[in-house]
Amino acid sequence: MSKIDFSEIEIGQVYGRPYLAKVWGYKTHFPLSRGVVTPSYSDQIILFVTKENQVSATKYNNYINDGYLYWEGEEKGGNDSRIIAAEQNKDTIHLFYRHKHHTEFFYLGIVKPVSFVKNEDKPSTFIYQIIGNPAFTTSTDEIQPNIISERETERRSLALSRIGQGAFRIHLIKLWGTCAITNVNIPEILKASHIKPWRSSTNIERLDPYNGLLLSPTIDALFDRGFISFEDDGYIIISKQLRKEQELLNIGPHIKLRNVFESSLKYLQHHKTNIFIK
């Protein structure tokens, strides 16, 4: 099985589709005009991801956060099955990313599938870890357990933690859509906040979307540190320590969660009992 040659493509450099078409032997750049390109007789999958599409185009919720790509697949999911089976089929997925339409793409290297939510009525959602060029990346699968260093063990634990939190975040975005209080809809700044903290949760609780709130940064910081909590009806509880700062922080007793799910009540109770500063 042949491959499209990436020997002339460097991570961090900017490329346009016409140039890539020329390098790869296409007569025009039109075969590369889609968001997902799966060249015939190749084990390569190429993603062309645009964060901010033009007004007339289909809107996708695509962005990069902490080394992970959060990406919505094609509108009709034509290549979903191929993408989901990429690791099983030993396909390599390459990422070209740009912030705005009608600009050139940054090549960010190879990405590894971490999690996905397959949807029938809207684009499926994927998380990819951006791992770059495999020539400079050590595969943890090649490390023997008896010679793993303490630092490597810590690195693996951190990687698994981030993957878990990435999956948690994508499920929270699906559950809430926007900030659970303010309706702010800027995914890059919204925080996937655990109600019962990660450190205190079981593995199941850590990935349970009902143990989470999607919050804007200020609200998230106050909630995470116990300066605010929420009643079972969703209304805010404000610590006495914030009396002087309430107005500056633009918070008050009128604030409430947009929804309170029954499955979240036990987590809210834990937060009120163990995290909230009265």
Give the per-residue pLDDT at 134. 40
- Of 9-23, 29-43, 48-62, 237-251, the range with the lowest mean pLDDT is 48-62
Instruction: Specify the pTM.
Output: 0.53
Range 67-87 average pLDDT: 80
Calpha distance 166→210 (Å, rounded):
15
Percentage of the chain exceeding pLDDT 70: 82
Give the per-residue pLDDT at 152. 41
Confidence of residue 71 (pLDDT cuts 50, 70, 90): confident
- Domains located in the chain, CATH noted: 14-137 (2.30.280.10), 166-274 (no CATH)
Each residue's pLDDT tens digit, 122-152: 888 888 888 864 433 333 333 233 333 444 4
Give the per-residue pLDDT at 3. 62
Give the per-residue pLDDT at 163. 46
* DSSP assignment string, 28-71: SSGGG-SSEE--TTBSEEEEEEEEE--TTSPP---EEETTEEEE
Residue/partner pairs of 75-78 with CB below 8 Å, 24 or more apart: 75/123, 77/118, 77/119, 77/120, 77/123, 77/124, 78/36
Each residue's pLDDT tens digit, 8-26: 898 888 999 999 999 998 8
